[in-house]
Amino acid sequence: MSELNNIPKHWQVKKLSEIGKSVTGTTPPKNDTTNYGNDIPFVKPPQLFDSVISNAPEKLSTKGSSLARILPENSVLVTCIGNLGRTAINKVPVAFNQQINAVIPYKEINGKFLFYQAQSHSFKSQLDELSSATTVAIVNKGKFETIRIVLPSLSEQLAIVSKIEELLSDLENGKLQLLTAQQQLKVYRQSLLKWAFEGKLTSTSLSEQKDGELPEGWKLVSLKDVCTIKRGKSKHRPRNDSSLFGGKYPFIQTGDIRNANGGYIKNYSQTYSEKGLEQSKLWYKGTLCITIAANIGETAILGIDACFPDSVVGLVCNEKLLLNKYTNYFFISHKSKLEELAPATAQKNINVDILEKVRIPLPSLSEQQIIIDELESKLTVCDKIEETISQSLFQADTLKQSILKKAFEGKLV
């Protein structure tokens, strides 16, 4: 890495194996509940957020601890399976699972100096390069130990750590506030959708409305009474027969629905030929699409005439009773409840019968349109705030990397 060459002459470049003892975590058998208790924090990747760890949601018993690998305080933990490069340093002894490699630094190495260096672009780039070319990224202990770091004297390490923490203090506080605002925005979105279908965005008599009670004039109806609900078609086997594709008929798949993010589907990655159309069905623009397998309850409205497979349901609203945009927002608000209706099988899915029995609050068409307008207006504001927060978080991460780059090039102190 070029960053490792751009350092003061008296600094050294060393492998992790030269500056500490590397250890891979383990998980005591889960089928023996006596391995778990309240003695030693048991750390897993979700607890690694470039953070200082003093506790964990799960703990091992004394017996479980004897079967695990325990890290002394000020060891550096790094995720090396799946989501690579998440880091932590522990302030108390901890056990950790096999998705994490850790370094117990030798005496002449400051743990926090290594902790911050593990968050640098140079360290993470090396980790990525070492990951196996498999479906899940993996860096085993042997490869992990080859990662190179820069190493000044212990006194310089301490000075660098002090300066990094001084500069990152305000930055991390600001980032925490942004993440809190992001979470609050998510809760507000969910609340808006909930209120919409309780009549609380349009009702003028909320004080008289009891919890769970719909506003006057609203009804609770089954979807089958206000919609036609049918599965998509893809009858030909094998499904990937090349003769089915390459024509002029858009073929919408679950990924296209997910990418539409609850809006209109106008983009697609595949088309059917005349033969493909014959064994499928062309649904008209305006049809509400709902995924019923794997990612249950993803929705979008067709912005074009298109076909889709039987992993997607097409819902056509009775235009005299129900607006498709209103129904779309209802399903966005109802997604978690829809997932709960799926039978507990290896591959969760729902069917037309389940959807037909879903009950939807039904105000007049004019009030449905008002609800749509209110939601679009408020959610557009949410989108703009979310974009601003995301940009600010990106800028904070960029500034952090700039600070770390200077630190490990010897340009910070």
Each residue's pLDDT tens digit, 58-87: 999 999 999 999 999 999 999 999 999 999
| Rounded-to-integer distance, Cα 99 and Cα 48, Å | 11
What is the per-residue pLDDT for 382?
Answer: 96
| Residue at token pair 């700039």 | 402
State how far the alpha carbon of 176 is from the alpha carbons of 74, 181, 187, in Å: 23, 9, 17
pLDDT band at 340 (very low <50, low <70, confident <90, very high): confident
153-177 tens-digit pLDDT: 999 999 999 999 999 999 999 999 9
Which of 194-208, 269-283, 316-330 is predicted with the least confidence, judged by mean pLDDT?
194-208
Report d(CA 405, CA 282) in Å as an integer: 55
Whole-angstrom distance, CA of residue 253 vs CA of residue 334: 21
Distances in whole angstroms, Cα of residue 6 to Cα of each of 1, 122, 208, 401, 411: 9, 12, 71, 16, 10
For residue 13, give the amino acid letter.
V
Q: Is the pLDDT of residue 16 over 60?
A: yes
Report, as an integer, the average pLDDT of 327-332: 96
Diameter over CA atoms, the chain: 80
3-state DSSP call for residue 24? strand
pLDDT at 132: 73
Paired sense of beta strands 312-317 and 227-231, if any? antiparallel
Counting residues of the chain whose pLDDT is more than 70, the rounded percentage is 95
Burial 96-118 (b: 16+ CB within 10 A, else e): bbebbbbbbbeeebbbbbbbbbb
pLDDT above 80: residue 204: no
pLDDT at 316: 96
- Report the pLDDT value the prediction gives residue 134, as an integer from 0 to 100: 66
Q: Is the pLDDT of residue 149 over 60?
A: yes
Residue 231 in 3-state DSSP?
strand
Task: Of 405, 398, 399, give the one whose Cα is nearest residue 3.
Answer: 405
Mean pLDDT over 213-239 rounds to: 93
